[in-house]
Amino acid sequence: MTQSSRISELRRDDRQHKEGFVPNRISPRRRTALIGRHVILIGLALLFFFPVLLIVSTALKTAADVTVNPFGLFSSFSFENIVNAWIEGHFSEYLLNSFLIAAPSTLLVVILSTMAGFTFARLPFRGRSIAFYLVILGLLVPFFTYMIPLYFELRGIGLLDTLPGVILVLTSGGVSFGTFFMRAFFSELPIELEQAARLDGCSEWQIFIKVMLPLVRSGAGALAVFTFIQSWNNFLVPLLYLPGGSFRPLTMGLFQFMGGHSVEVGPLAAGTLITILPVLALFLVMQRQLTEGFTGAVKG
């Protein structure tokens, strides 16, 4: 086989894979590799998914079954746990509260981190390193180190027990990772792009908005998903900084099933499903962003 025809064959196989139809002129070696790959993937996927199945099974069991036979997989069927969580457990309210808390903080984190990520990757100025380290410091300090002083501070400035207060706390918590994350994406963009744009007469701001920003779209999308998950699943911050019980989110709702010695596992599993559904929905919507990478300009 000549070199060029070999390349074309490889390219063809690739294209066919990308286009999603099963090639019928595939070499046996490739076929085995293909099957092998799927076998491994399916095996791992099953292993990964098994615990999730357990949760689903528990959410759909009868309450009595959960107490006597917590380990059983789909040993009974009932919606009572879900109803219990939704109504008596007030999960319908908590769902809304979780959105009110997580959505604004995610938006803020992504915006601020993208701006900062770009700055730290591409806009040199004196003192930039120090600022960067201060921001990154947040990744190295566990939250419980400063959560008590933060409480007293919030109280002092009147932000305790308020929605904006909680949103700001979550935002400041998320920008450390966010900045670090976006900076990595901006770092990957070649410096030639910037230089070319400058030669074309773009201002620094235009370079940011028109050239750089669109290229990190998928990174920003990924960050949005991760930040949303963190804010959505965050338990400590609402517990501490919304002591009055207003705006109680889903995580605290889950917590209410853990009073006393026992854990009400049935409603907890049901509550967990309610809690993760919006996140999964977000993931599905954003998953293209998450895996697209950045194409186009980079190769050219």
List, in sequence order, the alpha helices (H) in the chain: 3-19, 28-59, 63-68, 80-83, 91-122, 128-140, 143-156, 163-188, 191-199, 204-206, 213-215, 217-233, 236-241, 250-255, 265-292
| Contact window for another protein (CB under 8 A) among 74-82, 94-102, 287-295 | 287-295
Q: Does 99 bind another protein (CB under 8 A)?
A: no
Single residue of 101, 211, 212, 269 touching another protein by CB under 8 A: 269
CB of 174 to another protein, least distance (A): 8
Least distance from another protein to the Cβ atom of residue 24, Å? 16
d(CA 239, CA 244): 9
Please say which residue, 79 or 243, places its beta carbon nearer to another protein.
Answer: 243
For residues 110 and 230, give the distance between their C-alpha atoms in angstroms, rounded to a whole number: 13
4 vs 28 by CB, closer to another protein: 4
Can you read off the two tokens belonging to residue 53?
């199945």
- Contacts to another protein from residues 23-62, by CB under 8 A: 37-38, 40-41, 44-45, 48-52, 54-55, 58
- Residue of 83, 137, 200, 210 that binds another protein (CB under 8 A): 137
Select from 105, 119, 197, 224 the one that contacts another protein (CB under 8 A): 119
Q: Select the residue interacting with another protein from 43, 79, 83, 243 (CB under 8 A).
A: 243
Angle at 263 between CA 167 and CA 169, to 5 degrees: 10
Residue 247: name the closest of 93, 78, 119, 140 by CA.
Answer: 93
Report the site for another protein in 170-229 (rule: CB under 8 A). 171-173, 175-177, 179-181, 183-185, 187-188, 190-191, 195, 198, 203-205, 208, 218-219, 222, 225-226, 229
When asked if residue 266 is in the footprint of another protein (CB under 8 A), the reply is no
In this chain, which of 26, 136, 163, 213 binds another protein, going by CB under 8 A?
Answer: 136
How many residues lie near another protein (CB under 8 A)?
141
Q: 77 or 235: whose CB is closer to another protein?
A: 235
Instruction: Return the residue of 26, 107, 131, 163 that touches another protein, per CB under 8 A.
Output: 131
Nearer to another protein, 200 or 292 (CB): 292
**Torsions phi, psi for 234 (to 5 deg):** -70, 130
Distance of alpha carbon 148 from alpha carbon 240, whole angstroms: 9
* CA–CA dist 300, 268 (Å, integer): 52
What does the CA dihedral 152, 157, 158, 161 come to, rounded to 10 degrees? -40
Contact 253, 271 (CB under 8 A): yes
Stretch that binds another protein, among 3-11, 74-82, 97-105 (CB under 8 A): 3-11
Q: Is residue 284 within the footprint of another protein (CB under 8 A)?
A: yes
Give, as ranges, the residues between 67 and 86 that touch another protein (CB under 8 A): 67-71
Contacts for 204-212 with beta carbons within 8 Å, 24 or more apart?
A: 204/123, 208/118, 212/118, 212/122, 212/186
